[in-house]
Each structure stands twice: as C-alpha cells, then as structure tokens.
Amino acid sequence: MKRMAGVLVGAVVMVLTLAGTALADYTNSPSPTSVVSGAGGGTAFTGGNVSTPLLVAAILVIVGLVALFVARRRAAHAS
C-alpha cells in the first residue's frame, strides 16, 4: 500500500510540475494598444491547449495504478 501511495503521489507531483508553467494564469498583462519594446513579434506560446494531454496522462496513471493493484492481488492469491 505504501508503494502504491508513493507511485500516486509521484505521478501527481510530476503532472503538476510539468503542467504548472503551461497552466499559469498571468493576469497583469499590458493593454492591447501598448507597445512593448524588445518583443520579437508574434505571440508567445503559453501552453493554452494542454487539457487533452493532461487528461490522457491522468487516464494512463489511473490505468497503471489499477494494473498494479490487480497484479499484486493475483500474485497474493497465487501464493
């Protein structure tokens, strides 16, 4: 049970760490009419479309945890 909790906590921390920057919400942006000097032109990527990969990652983590649980139960009953 400790191992399963460790795997779950590790997966959640990894997902939050990797997606934290992409999901950041910066509300103090300049007005659309202001000119920002030093800007390279174009729109910076902010990772606005991360919901689908995040959903897939969450589903894969859940499937992996279920497989781990089933495998441990089958091994315990086989002994």
Please write the tens of the pLDDT for every residue from 12-22: 888 777 776 66
Alpha-carbon distance of 24 to 26, in angstroms, equals: 6
Per-residue pLDDT tens for 23-72?
665 556 666 665 656 555 555 666 566 677 788 888 999 999 999 999 98
Q: Is the pLDDT of residue 76 over 70?
A: yes
Residue 53: what pLDDT? 78
Residue 62: what pLDDT? 92
User: Of 19, 12, 9, whose CA–CA distance to 54 is shortest?
Assistant: 19
Q: Report the predicted TM-score, pTM, of the whole model to 2 decimal places.
A: 0.40
